[in-house]
Structure 1
């Protein structure tokens, strides 16, 4: 501390000392990015290790990313260099000799991912008591990144299993910059005793925020073609015609503005898709070449090689010459990439929490504001324009998210997911660790602790029977469960240790010809309409194994510009969107074009009477605006389809093939349904297998697990009752 020139501790660092130094309680430290959370945790933790000279202590530090482990290894090594405490990184890129040294003398700080910790249990189960005997703390970094996911369930289970091996409860320390509802963070960190956790929330952010939202209008295609002198040739496919959007005025204009305002500084640019990352990185590089200046723009996403990603990270960290990364969520978490001046968001942010995480990268120098530039592109309205475009859904959602960000709100994680898929993996892992386990042991080790609290004993027995039928496990005459033939092969495969699969995209095929690919987060049913590449399509078939959706062209008006393919939108965001449209005062952070587009949306909103009624439409079709999030809207769409009413969740509204009067009648029918009777509601959903081990679940457990993670069934029925009761 003296050598770093510190004259005082930050508030979280000061408060953490009495909470952590005696290793006698669980603690959550919530502070803004770059607020010194690592030091807040490790100054008292290292003090504890050094105060007890009787035995060498150890700390298990668990991180979601290898890159973050490498970053923290460097940081903690500097902190520990005079303390004679080893800092050991453990993941796939670390040499076996370094790992062996830790196993022989397990002391100091072990930095590890959940997957590598899982591998320790599977491959070194019998030796773990010796490896973990000196553990005094478990530290979980980026706590928010785990809550509500399969990986989070895996981590909860692993922490409990570590404590079983050690034979006592260990202090669990959670670090995070982004925590919505603290009660969810408490419940995640210690499911059995959430109220016993000490929470330290830093109040010292107080950072100035600079925001501008810029609006862009797309010129009609004829103007774009004539401007570029490249009319489509007869016989070109629709996909080739659609590629002209790469030369569309809004994208070119956005790239030009980014080039103008970002050059000369380090920045992060977030388009919403990998294809867009490549397009903007290429366009910005071309602009550098045109001006005869060195390239400052680097792509960064998960499909790129490790070497190319590291090139971008090194350029950012160096800072001179300046560098900007055009990236996806890969640069959201806390890898040290130096000082970032501006965060640019192209299109609507995936969520308020994501936007907050991204913005936390900007303005880290003392006195420097965090700067956000958001770019929204819309299309000119015609008499065929969709309701989404009439209400400028993308722009209004962006405004709502920024307003909620400024107000300090962001989405709490969806923590009620059952994640039975991860329970399958943890059962196999525990069986491998112990050399066999009884059903009673699995219940005690995995479920009684609270990690899988929503699973009943009868459901565990059903799951184990299903695993037996799939040859994942076998039972000997004493009742001991052992790996089955398939289970043995899977446990010995390197991919076993991950509890999740990477987000895969579905390929869209029409008449055997590819249209492109897209991630699918919504329930898919045959006959459903989707929007892709500026056109409407109807789903004919879904092949889960091949990740293929077969479509045909669907009838209908002009599809909306805003496709809403990002993260599930929260109820609070849609409430705020309605507030934005209800108001008449200008929005202070919009440029002139964006304000004009907002004024247009507000006029359309009031002209349709949507301030006082939730339904608008004709005698044959309606749009229902619930102003609820996608978990509720998806559930309501499934309920309506179940009672025979054609319905699609288009994002902002539900498109229903009935008049307003008949829609109200249908909602009254839905209001009488039982939310717990999910089998008939989900029988036509084609893509319930979302998580890695879902294929091994009995169908009733698959349905319950899917519904718990992706649908608000009870809220949908209550909403149907409320709206259906209107005159």
Structure 2
């Protein structure tokens, strides 16, 4: 962050309370940072909403709390309170120590509130609710449900609501819960409270403002500090996966596959994973680093392999695993080792270390495989290079397969490598995915209806409509859908209505409200078990639309879905015809339209990429050669009379919508990430896209009729089917984008071909 004027010349510094100024001097600061300078006048009078967006370690917490605490110190009668909401208990614990140090001289109490905090400390705050309360959305929900009658006294002196890691909430069920809770806090407090959002990663400030104050973005002051003064060092290394060894053979009926054997394959000891681990051991030992594979299984493999390499070299182990399935003690051991700095320690981790828990100075961030998203990559990279003058360092490792006559498009175009390059280029240009904020999240509305009823001891339909929907939190829910939902909740005994019209908890609702799991608005993605002929193949998370007859990829093979049992979480499959399955199986995060467009740009160019090694450059050259030989420079399709591959260069939500639409009009279609594979000739596909272009995106029930796995969110089971379909489509699919693509293609085909002109995807 570029230094600003010294404190003695800073008009913002002069507005801080004298004791707060003394704390600043005691830290040895000679200047306030950019975000801090601008946040003080915006926040000190508690008269507007503010978003502070700045890079990691740019002092966002101090930017918010220096003026907030000044306000509390300037107006001590009655003592004021601040509600700080965080997505993680670990982050609350981290911030508690940081804010306690800041508030100690001010004699302002700082109270952490979550399941691990002793009840005695919570009761002390309830008796004198002032100072800073650090809490998760789930614990705040529990306060409403269990202490509804005392909430007015709890929040009568509240002056600010602060939301940390704002980006982690936008576009999710938990975000809808948070929006509803902030509105309910204001209703109880009897006044509009300034809302303060803190984040290092916000792709669209207008969406962030709309999230923070729905319907009133003009009230939100955005403080965006983009200049970090930090250099970025990047190297992407390419690795060729060696031929796989056949370990054992399992007979499969010849009618089910092109081959009479199914081969279970594993990597040879000289394989690319071992080479990647060896290189990491060589360059990372002796420093603190974060290593991000793309699954818990890979975390365990690399942590074990790196530990063994330390043993072989006769040095203490420096590599520790960190993911959500590990015990709290093991995770905290890794966090303490990182924070201590000596001896050196590196964590092999999932997204558990992506958010802003203080883990000290990190030298290098390692990404194995393509990142989940540009936003995620930026968040991870913000962990590196926090010391003045030290660059942020990213090392990325990409594995690709040797090409054969049977290679699929994702291998031909080196999808892992090209997507990684595209994401890094977008990161450098300061673009990252905007949140998908238009989701209905009707599941969370069910939870909030039950919560409000429990809080108030009953609520009328008018009160629920006014408090949850008219306020803007669930503004996309129509009145007919709302009343259909209430009727459905009654039929499922979640609510009952007394003679006066008051909604009360029903028999089932009472039981669920009193269960500790009620307070969470979401559940973790459940895995489906794959079964063939009664024998389990394994388990996979399923986040994409799933229909009978479609093909999926698992364990290096293609499988056709015969049946789906939603309640038992079982998918019955048989071996499917088809060539080699792609190395890039698409089970990770949904890829955005703009990322795919940038991938096409990477493939269209001829100049070398400056931040990749020699092997990666060879792989990129192969990808560009395939891109040209397939004719993808100026067309969308290639294939045969019986099967056509449609390369849309659109994101997964658009492609998934196109798959449903093609199947809806009678053309069998499946997605493999980059391309859709459609039964029929290119002329058939063109005719099909003309039909898709004429579809009504509002006909959600018709388009989603064959989807088996509509239940994605915690309370989806309680929704009427029409509302369930609308909610699913709003968060999982881009129906309008699919129809727009179909119209574009159909128009160009009608005028003499499928020439591709570069378009900007918004």
Q: TM-score range by the shorter chain?
A: over 0.9
Q: Counterpart in 2 of 1:589?
A: 611
Q: Deviations over 1:463-510 (max 9, x none)?
A: 100000000000000000000000000000000000000122222222
Q: Counterpart in 2 of 1:566?
A: 588
Say yes or no: does 1:39 pair with 2:62: yes
> In 2, Cα distance between the equivalents of 1:599 and 1:217?
14
Say yes or no: does 1:621 pair with 2:636: no
Say yes or no: does 1:186 pair with 2:209: yes
> In 2, Cα distance between the equivalents of 1:492 and 1:233?
52
Deviation of 1:244 (Å): 2.2
> In 2, Cα distance between the equivalents of 1:464 and 1:455?
12
Match of 1:458 among 472, 480, 491: 480
Please give the TM-score of this superposition, normalised by the length of structure 2: 0.93
RMSD: 1.4
Q: Counterpart in 1 of 2:26?
A: 3
Alpha-carbon distance change, 235 to 397 in structure 1, aligned in 2, over 3 angstroms: closer
**1:390-409 counterparts in 2 under 5 A?**
390-409=412-431
Q: Deviations over 1:549-599 (max 9, x none)?
A: 221111001111111211111010010000000000000011000000000
Q: Does the CA-based 8 Å contact 1:473-1:487 persist in structure 2?
A: yes
Match of 1:477 among 499, 516, 537: 499
Match of 1:288 among 310, 314, 317: 310
> In 2, Cα distance between the equivalents of 1:518 and 1:326?
22
Say yes or no: does 1:77 pair with 2:92: no
Deviation of 1:548 (Å): 2.0
Say yes or no: does 1:360 pair with 2:375: no
Q: Counterpart in 1 of 2:536?
A: 514
> In 2, Cα distance between the equivalents of 1:124 and 1:239?
63
Q: Deviations over 1:593-646 (max 9, x none)?
A: 000000000011101110100001011101101111111111011000001101
Q: Counterpart in 2 of 1:486?
A: 508
Q: Counterpart in 1 of 2:396?
A: 374
Deviation of 1:545 (Å): 2.1
Say yes or no: does 1:232 pair with 2:247: yes
Residue 726 of structure 2 aligns to a residue whose secondary structure is helix
Residue 654 of structure 1 aligns to a residue whose secondary structure is strand
> In 1, Cα distance between the equivalents of 2:431 and 2:540?
29
Alpha-carbon distance change, 667 to 248 in structure 1, aligned in 2, over 3 angstroms: farther
Q: Counterpart in 1 of 2:760?
A: none
Q: Counterpart in 2 of 1:101?
A: 124
Match of 2:110 among 65, 87, 105: 87
Say yes or no: does 1:116 pair with 2:131: no
Say yes or no: does 1:125 pair with 2:178: no
Q: Counterpart in 2 of 1:644?
A: 666
> In 2, Cα distance between the equivalents of 1:4 and 1:383?
65
Unaligned runs of 5+ in 2: 1-23, 253-259, 753-762
Q: Does the CA-based 8 Å contact 2:247-2:265 persist in structure 1?
A: no
Deviation of 1:36 (Å): 0.2
Q: Deviations over 1:126-179 (max 9, x none)?
A: 000011111000000000000000000000000000000010100000000000
Q: Counterpart in 2 of 1:549?
A: 571
Q: Does the CA-based 8 Å contact 1:344-1:372 persist in structure 2?
A: yes
Say yes or no: does 1:67 pair with 2:90: yes
Match of 1:319 among 309, 326, 341: 341
> Mean alpha-carbon deviation: is it higher for 310-319 or for 155-164?
310-319
Unaligned runs of 5+ in 1: 223-230
Match of 2:74 among 36, 41, 51: 51
Match of 2:411 among 376, 379, 389: 389
> In 2, Cα distance between the equivalents of 1:512 and 1:68?
45
Q: Does the CA-based 8 Å contact 2:249-2:263 persist in structure 1?
A: no
Q: Does the CA-based 8 Å contact 2:418-2:602 persist in structure 1?
A: yes
Q: Counterpart in 2 of 1:22?
A: 45
Please give the TM-score of this superposition, normalised by the length of structure 1: 0.97
Q: Does the CA-based 8 Å contact 1:65-1:113 persist in structure 2?
A: yes
Q: Counterpart in 2 of 1:525?
A: 547
Residue 659 of structure 2 aligns to a residue whose secondary structure is helix
Q: Does the CA-based 8 Å contact 2:82-2:161 persist in structure 1?
A: yes
Match of 1:265 among 272, 283, 287: 287
> In 2, Cα distance between the equivalents of 1:234 and 1:79?
64
> Mean alpha-carbon deviation: is it higher for 576-585 or for 197-206?
197-206
Q: Counterpart in 2 of 1:226?
A: none
> In 1, Cα distance between the equivalents of 2:208 and 2:550?
37
Residue 326 of structure 1 aligns to a residue whose secondary structure is strand
Q: Counterpart in 2 of 1:331?
A: 353
